[in-house]
Amino acid sequence: MAITDKVYLKNHQQIASQLERSFPRGAFKGATLDILYQGEGLAKLDDATRDRVLDFAEDFLDCDCEANPHCGCPERKFVRYLLELRAEGLGPDAIVDVMGDDYMLYAYPGDVLSFLDDSVRTLEAVEALADVDGQPESGEQARTLREQLVR
Ligand SMILES: [Zn+2]
């Protein structure tokens, strides 16, 4: 399962009752993207929740793909967001705190840690492949990224 399958809305019950609709707890579930982030229910949300929901939509759902928001861009952008927080030096607990403040989302720190470990291993594989293929620039790029994640 991708990390984005393990990112949840912090006050899901409260939001569902404000919208008077049920939808999944997972932030990236198809129905959540439709009902919460694309729906007409925004006006029913309290101010603090609406601000976070709008921030999320602006930051992750703003692509022009025909299949938006089911095109995969939101997930890719969120992964980049997590990696950027890590590159800024944040650990899994701090990353979970920040996504809560920014977007009212949460994940389990253990899942974030596994995701970061997997990312580092993926970059190591990219480095190794680039060396084998004689593509030093790609290898160097992956190495720089990896060093940002493990520092
Ligand atoms: Zn897209």
Inside any domain, residue 101: yes
CA distances from 72 to 13, 23, 43, 114, 121 (A): 26, 20, 27, 21, 22
Domain around 21: 3-108
CA 144 to ligand 1 centroid distance, Å: 27
Ligand 1 centroid from CA 30, angstroms? 14
| Whether pLDDT at 37 is above 90 | no
Does this model's pTM top 0.85? My answer is yes
Q: What is the pLDDT of residue 57?
A: 93
- 31 within domain boundaries: yes
21-38 average pLDDT score: 92
pLDDT of residue 42: 85
Task: Note the residue count of the chain.
Answer: 151
**Whether the Cβ atoms of residue 3 and residue 79 lie closer than 8 Å to each other:** yes
Distance CA 102, CA 77 (A): 14
What is the number of domains present in the chain? 1
CA–CA separation, 126 and 75 (whole Å): 21
| pLDDT per position as a tens digit, 121-144 | 999 999 999 988 899 999 999 999
Distance CA 74, CA 59 (A): 8
Q: 54 CA to middle of ligand 1, Å?
A: 17
